[in-house]
Chains A and B, each alone.
Chain A
Amino acid sequence: MKVREIAEKLELTVYSGHSGLDNEVIGGYVSDLLSDVMGNADEGQAWITLQNHKNIMAVASLKDLAAVILVKGLKPDEATMMHSNEENLPILGTDAETFETAGALFKLLHP
């Protein structure tokens, strides 16, 4: 499923990386530990996290993730959004909690 479709269905805000909205999402990964994501996330996953600093983009792009979804209404800062635009890797956001967001994404990907 494309990032664009997930953003629409889960009513996520698209903060940046609009050029990557056609990235294909093949799964999800939930973690706020960057080393855990570095070590264990897989290419093409959407990463759900509450971390919103610039380093999330380094991790997401190095791991070829499809998108980052920020929870709890957290917003990326300017530098993070710039990096997201450069890498064509969208940052999305929701006011929902991690549990609800992961559950909704799971249901969408595994109907």
Chain B
Amino acid sequence: MGAMEFRYEVEGGNFSKAGHASSAVKKILKQLNVDARIIKRVVVALYEGEVNVVAHAHKGHILVNINEDEIGISIIDQGPGIPDIDLAMQEGFSTASAAVREMGFGAGMGLPNMKKNTDNFEIESQVGVGTTVRMTTRLS
């Protein structure tokens, strides 16, 4: 199989569409007969990433690259950025609004869940500009 690339747009604040990209990627990986356990890990990480953009950023997009060996996902947003990445990576730390928390998000589990469910996880951020998360998961 050759390399495949997909792009998904994410709207800041629009919770009704959160999960669109995750659902699409899940279908693609299923069609490619990827191991169900690996699909689950990818989907958890991507969904958390989508929700982060919706909850915190103005807008963003997701680039997904799939080749025979691995799936690479980049989540790129224009938003407030993260001043202290180490702090943001701590389980339980969150800057989500009260309204977002009421929905059951913003428990400070998103970024740690993403790291836990990927083989390689990198995050870069510039305050006032935005955040980029790159994660890779081996497919076998």
Residues of A with Cβ closer than 8 Å to B? 32-36, 38-39, 43, 49, 51, 53-55, 58-59, 61-63, 79
Count of chain B residues with Cβ under 8 Å from any Cβ of A? 22
Q: Determine if A55 and B48 form an interchain contact, defined as CB atoms under 8 angstroms apart.
A: no
Q: Determine if A54 and B26 form an interchain contact, defined as CB atoms under 8 angstroms apart.
A: no
Q: Determine if A54 and B23 form an interchain contact, defined as CB atoms under 8 angstroms apart.
A: no
Q: Determine if B109 and A58 form an interchain contact, defined as CB atoms under 8 angstroms apart.
A: no
Closest Cβ of chain B: how far from A12's Cβ, in Å?
A: 21
A-B pairs, top 5 by smallest CB distance, nearest first, are: A58-B19, A35-B109, A34-B104, A39-B113, A33-B107
Contacts of A61 in B (CB 8 A): 23
Q: Determine if B22 and A62 form an interchain contact, defined as CB atoms under 8 angstroms apart.
A: yes
The contact of A51 among B44, B104, B113, by CB within 8 Å, is B104
State the CA gap A33–B110 with chains docked (Å): 11
Contacts of A33 in B (CB 8 A): 104-105, 107, 109
Q: Determine if B16 and A79 form an interchain contact, defined as CB atoms under 8 angstroms apart.
A: yes
Contacts of B105 in A (CB 8 A): 33-35, 55
Given contacts A36-B109, A38-B47, A62-B23, 11 further A-B contacts (CB under 8 A): A32-B104, A33-B105, A33-B107, A34-B103, A35-B110, A39-B113, A39-B117, A49-B104, A62-B44, A63-B40, A79-B16
> Does B7 sit at the interface, judged by CB under 8 A?
no
State the CA gap A53–B99 with chains docked (Å): 13
Closest Cβ of chain A: how far from B104's Cβ, in Å?
A: 4
Q: Determine if A53 and B19 form an interchain contact, defined as CB atoms under 8 angstroms apart.
A: no
